[in-house]
Amino acid sequence: MSHEADITIIGAGVVGLATAARVADGDREVYVLEKNETFGMEGSSRNSGVIHAGIYYPEGSLKARMCVAGNRMLYELCGAYGIAHKRLGKLILALTEEEIGDLERLLGQGQRNGAEGLRILSTREMKELEPNVEGLAAILSPSSGIVDPYALMRHFVARVQEKGGRIAYRTEVVGIEKAAGGYRVAVEEGSGRFSFFTRVLINCAGLQGDRVAELAGIDIAQAGYRLHYCKGEYFSVSTSRNGLVSMLIYPLPPPRLTGVGTHLTIDLDGRMILGPSIQYVDSIDYTVDPQHRQLFYDSVRRFLPFVQYDDLEPEMAGIRPKLQKPGEDVRDFVVRDESDRGLPGFINLIGIESPGLTAAPAIAEYVAGLVEDQLG
Ligand SMILES: Cc1cc2nc3c(=O)[nH]c(=O)nc-3n(C[C@H](O)[C@H](O)[C@H](O)COP(=O)(O)OP(=O)(O)OC[C@H]3O[C@@H](n4cnc5c(N)ncnc54)[C@H](O)[C@@H]3O)c2cc1C
């Protein structure tokens, strides 16, 4: 690594890589620093792989805007570069008469956000599409789909390298100091500790985003940046059930949008996967508790009656970096330049939970604007 960079990005998850691919150009020194041995070993490979439409999030929020824009950008990108994906469509179900009002409210929310092609289906219309699913009515979201997150990240890695950007693995950022016109960044890598200067520093550190902000001297309690870990487990459904459902199937989301409800996704091999569950945890542990099988079975059997208890096997888990504690109202993504904290050119991305995979290309575009404001 040279001792001077124009732009340094901390974290090689999908958001850091999309951002690096967007801001790299032959004339700038751009670095991505990643503490793990390769890219995408954390949140970006432990998710549902769903291309969300942008239905759930409060109108005008970054989550809503970036998700709706990211949805379109992602399909274009996948089409142009042959990244594995499928536009499966999705149903959000009302299971009781009382839920029909909630479904209509959610439809209004999604339409105000600009999610494409949403409409309500009657029981008959829903059954025509998905005869093996139970429900009284459903929102049809034709622009929801799935993508291979790993293939998407590989695409961004290739773009970064093509444009002359460099990705350093096994390189952990351990210190950030304000210097004239930029930042002195201390890193630890195999051969020891060293530091270098960068004009712009972008924090895409996922679960460690709050700690990285703290390294730069931000009081994270006062800024409202402290992250709370929220684990989501997945169970797979026996492959003997493959083909019984063709779309993504979701119940209505739980109150306060802690998640979007234990749902059914279909992976690119046609396997059905249930999850993610919601459990706040104190530490990062990706094991799936086999005893949670009953909870999964109970949460889906009302709308997926063909699923039997013995069909379910532990699959994997991911951890969401949430800005809100249990019971608190949903918080928006933080994506901001910290000039007003005396740290111009330090750009924080914190609380990038779902729909961060979908939103990644749109977040990258937004961050590129913040970078231009600094570098001109
Ligand atoms: C259970 C679950 C399900 C989800 N489902 C969906 C979905 O279906 N659709 C969707 O759109 N989104 C979904 N998401 C959200 C999506 O996965 C994330 O928003 C996205 O992957 C975040 O990417 P990231 O690059 O910000 O973070 P990460 O992928 O977590 O990357 C951060 C990187 O920073 C590195 N890092 C941290 N600290 C340092 C340091 N000090 N020095 C160097 N490197 C460091 C880490 O090692 C890591 O590689 C889901 C998330 C979860 C957890």
Which residue, by CA, sits nearest to atom 38 of ligand 1?
A: 205
d(Cα 81, Cα 152) in Å, to the nearest integer? 9
The pLDDT of residue 257 is: 62
In this structure, which amino acid lies at residue 175?
G
d(Cα 63, Cα 113) in Å, to the nearest integer? 10
345-361: burial string, b at 16+ Cβ within 10 Å, e else: bbbbbbbbbbbbbbbbb
124-164 pLDDT per residue, tens: 999 999 999 999 999 999 999 999 999 999 999 999 999 99
Ligand 1 test: best mutation among 85, 143, 357, 358, most atoms within 8 Å of CB? 357
Phi, psi values for residue 317, rounded to 5°: -140, 155
Residue carrying the six token digits 């792989």: 49
Q: At residue 258, does pLDDT exceed 90? A: no
Q: Which residues contact 196 (CB under 8 A, 6 or more apart)?
A: 1, 2, 3, 4, 5, 184, 185, 187
Phi, psi values for residue 228, rounded to 5°: -120, 130
Pick from 2-16, 220-234, 249-263 the range whose average pLDDT is largest.
Answer: 220-234
Distance between Cα 125 and ligand 1 center (Å): 37
DSSP 212: H
Phi, psi values for residue 127, rounded to 5°: -65, -30
**Which percentage of the chain shows pLDDT scores above 70?**
98
Q: In the predicted model, what is the mean pLDDT of residues 289-301?
A: 95
The pLDDT of residue 260 is: 64
Q: At residue 256, does pLDDT exceed 90? A: no
**108 pLDDT tier (thresholds 50, 70, 90):** very high
28-58 pLDDT per residue, tens: 999 999 999 999 999 999 999 999 999 999 9
Ligand 1 test: best mutation among 39, 44, 257, 267, most atoms within 8 Å of CB? 44
Which atom of ligand 1 is found nearest the CA of 41?
Answer: 49
Ligand 1 test: best mutation among 170, 198, 201, 208, most atoms within 8 Å of CB? 208
317-335 pLDDT per residue, tens: 999 999 999 989 999 999 9
Which atom of ligand 1 is found nearest the CA of 319?
Answer: 53
Which atom of ligand 1 is found nearest the CA of 50?
Answer: 8
Distance between Cα 210 and ligand 1 center (Å): 13
The pLDDT of residue 203 is: 99
Q: At residue 2, does pLDDT exceed 90? A: no
d(Cα 210, Cα 227) in Å, to the nearest integer? 6
Q: At residue 316, does pLDDT exceed 60? A: yes
pTM of the complete model:
0.97
Q: In the predicted model, what is the mean pLDDT of residues 241-256?
A: 90
Q: In the predicted model, what is the mean pLDDT of residues 262-286?
A: 95
Q: At residue 1, does pLDDT exceed 70? A: no
Longest CA–CA span in the chain (Å) reads 66
The pLDDT of residue 103 is: 96
Please count the residues of the chain: 376
d(Cα 35, Cα 125) in Å, to the nearest integer? 50
Label residue 207 exposed, middle or buried (CB < 10 Å: 0-12, 13-18, 19+).
Answer: middle
What does the mean pLDDT of the chain come to? 96
> 177 vs 1, 154, 167, CA distance in Å?
18, 32, 21
Return the higher-pLDDT residue of 1 and 218.
Answer: 218
CB neighbourhood size of 125 (10 A): 13
Distance between Cα 73 and ligand 1 center (Å): 19
d(Cα 83, Cα 75) in Å, to the nearest integer? 9
Contact 315, 267 (CB under 8 A): no
Contact 2, 23 (CB under 8 A): no
Which residue, by CA, sits nearest to atom 9 of ligand 1?
A: 50
Q: Does a cis peptide bond (omega within 30 degrees of 0) precede residue 276?
A: yes
> Residues with Cβ within 6 A of ligand 1?
10-16, 33-36, 41-44, 46-50, 52, 172-173, 204-208, 212, 232, 276, 318-320, 352-358
